[in-house]
């Protein structure tokens, strides 16, 4: 007679060695390695990386004589690190002892909030970084010649009739403003691209499991 | 973790922790890692137990959450584990006295989705639909239908109709 799954399960544990308790070794040394912990670790590293990066770019920009770029990057990166440091605190507070759905949902909520805040931040951050690069190359070293002025003088010499606004070529200024506006408009997407490069696979796994759990909660799906 | 806590609060529930960890791992090494991690998390989270449920239910829930998280971590890890390449089966040295049907059933359970594995383990441990629903964060009405589906799928896997 065919045995039921239930009886195979029950009888299996009576005869097998499956229930031998493993030895607990170096439990304190075992790093907490679940998804949320890993995310927190990566996040912490990223925040530190941003701060270190801000100082490195500042130093390098002085060495290559475009300090305004470094200063601009520094001004943009430090608030970015601070905002994400604050977000990290929320990640540490996720309760692991609630049911599976609530646990993953809490993490998902945190993730969405983190993405939303960073997307808003990106609208200012990316154009600002672009402006910092332009400023770096335009103003050159502090107290030295301004490469931007030389470029402008050359342009005026070549196109003496060009339209100017506040002393700058109108069309060039409009082009720069257009690029900055486009970068700001698409900043959210650029940020998502960035995010997916680092956390894409983890985010997808989270979505898959949540979708499965949500299906379980819907009467209509059965 | 004090040995007192381990002996009094974890060891009496070791069987269920082991069953969960085995369902989510394919090698002895991974199993021991999962078991230790679950024990560690129980100890670290013990203050969050609010006695709204049985300690055993709480342990089950936490074991399941930790196992799901570790599984996700492993799948996302760029470093490949040995078990990523090994066929889904129990380690040979542990299966000498093990009933073939039982071995096949365990392997079949491992082929289910992460969530289904949790549901069927709870069912096989004779938890009520209400308890299963509480642990999985759903409602009891859905559990019965889900279990029926899982059992059908398990039967198909055991009969070799699906992989």
> DSSP readout, chain A?
-PPPHHHHHHHHHHHSSTTPPPP--SGGGS---SHHHHHHHHHHHHHHHHHHHHHHHHHHHHHTT-HHHHHHHHHHHHHHHHHHHHHHHHHHT--TTS-HHHHHHHHHHHHHHHHHHHHHHHHHHHHHHHHHHHHHHHH-STTS--HHHHHHHHHHHH-TT--EETTEEHHHHHHHHHHHHHHHHTHHHHHHHHHHHHHHHHHHHHHHHHHHHHHHH-GGG-
Q: What would the pLDDT profile of A181-212 be if each residue is shown by its tens digit?
A: 999 999 999 999 989 988 887 777 778 767 76
**A220 against A101, higher pLDDT:** A101
Average pLDDT over residues A65-85: 93
* From B36, B115, B146, residue closest to A30, measured CB to CB: B36
Please provide the CATH number assigned to the domain covering B1-86: 1.10.1740.10
- A32 to B142: CB separation less than 8 angstroms, yes or no: no
pLDDT at A177: 94
Q: Which two tokens stand for residue A1?
A: 């007679």
CATH 1.10.10 intervals, chain B: 89-163
**A51 against B100, higher pLDDT:** A51
pLDDT at A84: 93
Q: What would the pLDDT profile of B42-90 be if each residue is shown by its tens digit?
A: 887 888 887 777 888 888 889 988 898 888 777 765 444 333 333 344 4
Residues B76, A9: Cα–Cα separation, whole Å: 31
Chain B residue with CA closest to A21: the answer is B14
How close does chain A come to B162, measured CA to CA in Å?
A: 17
ipTM: 0.73
Q: Residue A101 pLDDT more than 70?
A: yes
Proportion of chain B above pLDDT 70, given as a percent: 81
Q: Residue A221 pLDDT more than 70?
A: no
Average pLDDT over residues A114-132: 94
CATH 1.10.1740.10 intervals, chain B: 1-86
Residues of A in contact with B59 (CB under 8 A): none
Q: What would the pLDDT profile of B4-14 be if each residue is shown by its tens digit?
A: 777 888 888 88
Pick from A77, A102, A87, A95: which is nearest to A42 by CA?
Answer: A87
- A15 to B97: CB separation less than 8 angstroms, yes or no: yes
Which distant-in-sequence residues (6+ apart) come within 8 Å of A90 by Cβ?
A110, A113
Average pLDDT over residues B96-103: 68
CATH fold of B89-163: Arc Repressor Mutant, subunit A (1.10.10)
Q: Is A203 on the interface with B (CB under 8 A)?
A: no
pLDDT at A79: 95
- A19 to B14: CB separation less than 8 angstroms, yes or no: yes
Q: Residue B92 pLDDT more than 60?
A: no
Residues A215, B7: Cα–Cα separation, whole Å: 38
Pick from A146, A32, A147: which is nearest to A92 by CA?
Answer: A32
- B139 to A217: CB separation less than 8 angstroms, yes or no: yes
pLDDT at A198: 84
Average pLDDT over residues A130-154: 85
């Amino acid at each position: 007679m065919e045995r039921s799954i239930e009886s195979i399960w029950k009888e299996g544990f009576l005869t097998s060695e499956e229930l031998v308790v493993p030895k607990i070794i170096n439990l304190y040394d075992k790093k907490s390695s679940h998804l949320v912990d890993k995310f927190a670790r990566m996040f912490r590293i990223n925040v530190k990386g941003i701060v270190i990066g801000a100082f490195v770019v500042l130093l390098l920009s002085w060495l290559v004589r475009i300090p305004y770029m470094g200063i601009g990057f520094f001004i943009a990166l430090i608030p970015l690190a601070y905002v994400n440091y604050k977000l990290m605190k929320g990640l540490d507070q996720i309760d692991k002892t609630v049911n599976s759905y609530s646990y993953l949902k809490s993490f998902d909520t945190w993730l969405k909030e983190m993405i939303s805040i960073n997307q808003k931040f990106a609208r200012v951050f990316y154009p600002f970084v672009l402006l910092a690069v332009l400023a770096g190359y335009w103003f050159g070293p502090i107290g030295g010649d301004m490469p931007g002025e030389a470029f402008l003088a050359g342009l005026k010499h070549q196109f003496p009739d060009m339209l100017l606004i506040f002393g700058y070529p109108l069309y060039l200024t409009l082009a720069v403003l257009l690029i900055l506006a486009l970068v700001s408009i698409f900043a959210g997407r650029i940020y998502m691209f960035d995010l997916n490069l680092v956390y894409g696979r983890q985010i997808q796994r989270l979505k898959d499991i949540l979708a499965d759990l949500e299906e379980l909660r819907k009467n209509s799906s059965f | 973790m004090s040995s007192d806590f381990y002996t009094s609060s974890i060891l009496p529930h070791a069987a269920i922790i082991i069953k969960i960890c085995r369902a989510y791992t394919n090698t002895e090494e991974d199993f021991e890692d999962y078991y230790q991690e679950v024990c560690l998390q129980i100890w670290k989270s013990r203050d969050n137990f609010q006695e709204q449920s049985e300690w055993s239910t709480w342990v089950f829930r936490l074991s399941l959450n930790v196992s799901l998280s570790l599984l996700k971590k492993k799948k996302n890890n760029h470093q490949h584990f040995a078990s990523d390449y090994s066929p889904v089966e129990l380690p040979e040295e542990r299966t000498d006295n093990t009933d073939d049907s039982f071995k096949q059933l365990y392997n079949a359970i491992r082929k289910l989705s992460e969530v289904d594995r949790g549901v069927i383990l709870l069912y096989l441990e004779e938890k009520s639909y209400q308890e299963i629903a509480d642990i999985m964060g759903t409602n009891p009405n859905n559990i019965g239908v889900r279990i029926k589906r899982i059992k059908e799928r398990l039967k198909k896997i055991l009969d070799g109709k699906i992989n």
